Amino acid sequence: MTIPPAFRVATVIAVLFSVTAAVRPAGADVLVFAAASTTSAIGEIASLYEDEAGEDVRTAFAATSALTRQIEAGAPADVFVSANVAWMNHLAREDGIEPGSRRSLLGNRLVLIAPRDRTLDVEIGPGFPLAPSLNGGRLAIADPDHVPAGMYARAALESLGVWASISDRTAPTAHVRGALALVERGEATAGIVYATDAAISSRVRVAGVFPPDSHPAIVYEAAIVAGRSRGEVTRFFEFLGSEAAAQVFARHGFSPLR
């Protein structure tokens, strides 16, 4: 999975406006930039760490691609959690992370979802009838050119031989939670999101699970941003890989990689 050389205009706009923490929040000891799909879990972990360590942790969530560009542009993030190895590779090549700090943190699954009140059940496999199942509607996915969830989705559909039949019926969003929202509101007939995103919503249901070998392994990585390895940052980063954090991630449906 490679990183495209340039963003489309819409994606640039998403980069500029999707991350609210362009300036370090007053009083923050640690600022974490993390993939949108980790919002619930890392928000809980940050609160748990604050209670235990007495240090303030602020978080900013957006598409991994947007966060990477923000860090490259000088945003004051201390810790970065990426939903895609390729984007972390990109940042590493640009000397954007502390050498030796990078670690594999989590795994996830890719699922097909539909609004809870709509019938859509398919057996996902080579040549499965996704286009007819849409019945003229749209398939919500994160931007497949830049956002990890969308990149995984396209890779899966291409490997199963159905991407060409639905590529003009997609509704791309700036991040995976945006795809989830379109399906929740019934504005898309179906969507492809992470299993953890589907699990947090009572308004969608899982219509099928993609075979793990239909796309690159979904691995979330974490690293300390270059020049940010001071004491409080290192302490939180270690906590992120602790047993206590692993229990939170598991409760939210992730597979901790330890």
pLDDT digits (tens, 9 = 90+) for 186-233: 999 999 999 999 999 999 999 999 999 999 999 999 999 999 999 999
* Distance separating the N- and C-terminal Cα atoms of the chain: 24
Q: Residue 8 pLDDT more than 50?
A: no
Region(s) of the chain under CATH 3.40.190.10: 9-107+218-256, 110-214
Each residue's pLDDT tens digit, 99-150: 999 999 999 999 999 999 988 878 999 999 999 999 999 999 999 998 999 9
Q: Which of 9, 170, 194, 164 is nearest to 84 (CA)?
A: 194
Which fold would CATH assign to domain 110-214?
D-Maltodextrin-Binding Protein; domain 2 (3.40.190)
Q: Which long-range contacts (CB under 8 A, 24 or more apart) does 231-237 make?
A: 232/29, 232/30, 232/55, 233/30, 233/78, 233/79, 235/53, 235/55, 236/29, 236/30, 236/32, 236/49, 236/53, 236/55, 236/57, 236/78, 236/79, 237/79, 237/101
Beta bridge partners of 222: 81, 103
Residue 22 has pLDDT above 60, yes or no: no
Q: What is the CATH number of domain 9-107+218-256?
A: 3.40.190.10
Phi/psi at 117 (5° precision) = -90, 10
Beta pairing partners, 206: 113
Rounded (5°) CA angle 243-210-124 = 155
Tokens of 122: 């398919």
- pTM for the structure as a whole: 0.83
For residue 179, report the phi and psi dihedrals to the nearest 5 degrees.
Answer: -65, -40
Which tens digit of pLDDT belongs to each residue from 233-253? 999 999 999 999 999 999 999
Query: In a 10 Å sphere around its CB, with 0-12 CB exposed, 13-18 middle and 19+ buried, how is residue 211 labelled?
Result: middle
pLDDT at 39 over 70: yes
pLDDT, residue 6, reads: 33
- DSSP per residue, 17-66: HH-S-SSPPTT-SEEEEEEGGGHHHHHHHHHHHHHHH---EEEEEE-HHH
CB 45 within 8 Å of CB 245: yes
Q: Is pLDDT above 80 for 4?
A: no
Residues listed for the chain: 258
Is pLDDT of 2 > 90?
no
